[in-house]
Structure 1
Amino acid sequence: IARSLRASARRPATLQRAFQPIKPSFAPALSQRFASTQSNTDGRIHQVIGAVVDVKFDGEQLPAILNAVTTENGGQKLVLEVAQHLGENVVRCIAMDGTEGLVRGRKVVDTGAPIKIPVGPGCLGRIMNVTGDPIDERGPIKATKLAPIHAEAPEFVDQSTSAEILVTGIKVVDLLAPYARGGKIGLFGGAGVGKTVFIQELINNIAKAHGGYSVFTGVGERTREGNDLYHEMQETGVIQLDGDSKVALVFGQMNEPPGARARVALTGLTIAEYFRDEEGQDVLLFIDNIFRFTQAGSEVSALLGRIPSAVGYQPTLAVDMGGMQERITTTQKGSITSVQAVYVPADDLTDPAPATTFAHLDATTVLSRGISELGIYPA
């Protein structure tokens, strides 16, 4: 009994110790931690696996999906695009350039918006990459406006239809399979049957005959072809280094990481949309090659760990293609006529990549290997 009385006498002191108030030195730190609502937009590189970079942010608010975040790599700005939120304040990003030299712990800054590129007349006669940086060594691009590469398609009520023929100046096309102005045209063919040469001829004819603006987007094709195209355009006067150019060039070629190849078509499309919506122009958008857009999307999907779909393509194949193609349309302000070269793997038109593209096209021109082997062009 005496022992229990002594224990009960000690208990209030124990309770008093357990419920002591927080010391003043700790109180400000705790109140600041829970009261702060500002997000910290700086993060640190957590992991680098090829073109995929994981970034850990300190704040509670993470950058939104498709936001651009930037870091330094070898003194150059490297742009990453947010693709996934992994939990524990880690976001998975796709790099728009090479990641050689990146290290863990390097600072990353959220720009708060998608990748933005310069648009407007200052882009004409210039070559840019996926992030809008000039790659023709002729100084910065003189543009007054920046536009995000991710945008919504025009509303249904804003779209218009027209039944005009686009005169290409190529007799076999204008006679047998004419193209509609403001439509989407597919050039199907295997390797080496003349898709790129056909597109070059179209740009030349239409720039000379109609004086309209064109945007050429090279997606995952040979750098040599892009270089040849640039110099040919200078010789024919389509690009005038000191004068009035008619075409803007956007390149994300074979040597680029998959992130750049998957987004460069959207960069070219954004420039074309500016001329259509802000200046009321009828614009020509050339994409060479739309298959490489799908192929790059497949690579990105695999890097992000998504389960592949038919023939190893990404499960989001139809969504990726539809999101871009729906933006290529005619509105009441102007039109975008798109000519897309479509590489057909192993000459198999039932492959999911060309088959998905078919659904969006208004006209198709299939180049035949048999005819090209006879030396007849266009095949």
Structure 2
Amino acid sequence: MAAWLPSARRRLRDLEVRPSVQHIGLVERVGDGVATISGLPLTRLDEMLLFEDGTPGLAVHVGESTVNCVLLGSGEGIVAGSRVHGTAEVFRVPVGEGLLGRVLDSTGQPLDDGPPIKAERHDPVDRPAPAIVDRDPVTRPLMTGLTVIDSMIPLGRGQRELIIGDRKTGKTAIAVDAIINQRASDLICIYAAVGQKTSAVSQVIEAVREYGAPERCIFVVGGADAPPGAQWITPYSACTMAEYFRDKGRDVLLVIDDLTHHAIIYRQLSLLLRRPPGREAYPGDVFYIHARLLERAANLSSDLGGSITALPIAETQAGNLTAYIPTNLISITDGQIYLEPKLFYEGQKPAVNVGMSVSRVGGQTQAPAIKRLAERLKLDYAQFLELEVFTRFGTMVDERTKARIEHGRRIRAILAQPEYRPLSVAEQVGLLLAVGERKLDDLPLDRVERFKAGLRDRLHESCPRACVHVDETGDISEPEQSDFLAAIDALLTELAPGQGAGG
């Protein structure tokens, strides 16, 4: 004590006292995740405010005498008269390699009971999209491992592809399979859950941990039990985390599940803030906020960084694609994957309606081998769908038409795929080659699943080098194609003796 006292007195004597200014306001009204504050005339739009209980807030409307604020926490300790501090800062979230493998909330706080986040820095959640001159065309493929998508609706790195369909038709399953398939690639995967149930989010996380590469994934969760403001900023926070890796030259897959809930949350907040409603009570800028968000997904020039591929999900009601939010998102994105309830209930999974799905920029990125084999497949499948509807009326058909219908059923069978089992490029090429060369037309339909199950091992046993080459390059040479066909014939001979080379 005797030694400490002189040094303490010396430090107090040398301490330079300066005046400081703090902007402190008071809460006038609070409830339902929003608050009205007075006494903060210098507050700027989108400034982060801090309530006396530690809850952060976001200033979304600045009036002459009051500020409307969205709470980013529960705000249970906030009442009328509570003090609020201005920070003169926009809202930021942590970014960096330390986020990989973690489950976070929309403010960047861990939800997985792990150690504190080690962030390299904190970046604003709302950032401008890259300029047009800073972008390159989408030329590199992003393989989902789903044959129906990679062959019919191919995706490229830097693309924005909407996954749309009714509730419980497999929208999230497609996105999760795309994440799982990146276990063999170099992509960083970020899953943003907006307004989803805790049980549904847990299933996604467990599936990725069991089948994928969780060490290269980030899960950003704004669950259904989170405050409305926290749900609202979830996709923006996830996009900011993705942009860190993009600026480092990495490629990122960003899944936003889903933007329909995001629009509903934004409508709720806007009505609570007494903004004028528009169509279906949505605020007038709901198109703008989604366009601004998705425009941040792009393929940057090679000297500026990598890419962000966005897979936003949207929910329809009774298959109505002409509703307000679905039409907005369809017009913003580079294509859509439409999941039809009728196909889902018939057992066709993934329930992708090929005729109503499109990829506007992914065709030029498609693996060469798949592109060649899928060209004829699309036409054959479209003709089959028309003929199948026609024959349901009991019309008599000739042998040629019967053959086309049987061939179409084999195409549909190879496009079906179980969940959490994405296929490599070589496996997809083998399936497309088998059906394209009509090797399966004489195989009983109930044995096609056995053929699909045995094809992977047969190809890797018979022609391992060809499989590696196809997986690495996406192309197949004539000798390799002959090796694939020989392996297919051998497998067919085992499944249906008497069939094979002549099939």
TM-score (norm. length: structure 1): 0.83
Deviations 1:211-258 (A, max 9, x none): 32111100111211111222222223522xxxxx11011010112222
> Where does 1:182-221 land on structure 2 (aligned, <5 Å)?
182-206=158-182, 208-221=183-196
Percent identical: 29
Deviations 1:131-190 (A, max 9, x none): 111111112111121101011111222122122332221111111111122100111111
The residue type paired with residue 80 of structure 1 is G
2:259 corresponds to:
290
**Aligned with 1:364: secondary structure?**
strand
Q: Hey, which of these two has a bigger chunk of helix by percent?
A: 2
* Alignment equivalent of 2:239, drawn from 266, 269, 273: 269
> Where does 1:62-73 land on structure 2 (aligned, <5 Å)?
62-73=42-53
Distance 1:369 1:179, change over 3 A: same
**Aligned with 2:30: secondary structure?**
strand
> Where does 1:309-328 land on structure 2 (aligned, <5 Å)?
309-328=278-297
The answer to whether the aligner puts 1:338 opposite 2:310 as a matched pair is yes
- Of the structure 1 ranges 163-172 and 366-375, higher mean CA displacement relative to structure 2 is found in 163-172
Deviations 1:40-80 (A, max 9, x none): 4222222213211112226xx4221111111244xxx3111
What are the ranges of 5 or more consecutive residues in structure 1 without an aligned counterpart? 1-37, 240-244
1:95 corresponds to:
71
For the residues of structure 2 that align with 1:147 and 1:338, how far apart are their CA atoms? 20
* Alignment equivalent of 1:79, drawn from 13, 33, 56: 56
Contact 1:179 1:363 in 2 (8 A): no
What are the ranges of 5 or more consecutive residues in structure 2 without an aligned counterpart? 1-19, 352-503
> Where does 1:222-371 land on structure 2 (aligned, <5 Å)?
222-236=197-211, 238-239=213-214, 245-277=215-247, 279-332=248-301, 333-371=305-343
**Aligned with 1:305: secondary structure?**
coil
2:446 corresponds to:
none
**Aligned with 2:63: secondary structure?**
strand
1:109 corresponds to:
85
TM-score (norm. length: structure 2): 0.63
1:24 corresponds to:
none
After TM superposition, give the deviation of residue 39 of structure 1 in Å: 6.0
Moved beyond 6 Å, runs of 4+: none
**Aligned with 1:300: secondary structure?**
helix
The residue type paired with residue 369 of structure 1 is P
Contact 1:47 1:54 in 2 (8 A): yes
Distance 1:91 1:39, change over 3 A: farther
Report the number of matched residues. Answer: 330
Contact 1:40 1:57 in 2 (8 A): no
2:28 corresponds to:
46
- Of the structure 1 ranges 117-126 and 106-115, higher mean CA displacement relative to structure 2 is found in 106-115
**Aligned with 1:172: secondary structure?**
helix
2:155 corresponds to:
179
What RMSD in Å do the two structures reach over aligned CA positions? 1.7
1:161 corresponds to:
137
Contact 2:180 2:212 in 1 (8 A): no
The residue type paired with residue 367 of structure 1 is L
Q: Hey, which of these two has a bigger chunk of strand by percent?
A: 1
Contact 1:81 1:95 in 2 (8 A): yes
Contact 1:44 1:105 in 2 (8 A): yes
Contact 2:138 2:159 in 1 (8 A): no
Contact 1:50 1:99 in 2 (8 A): no
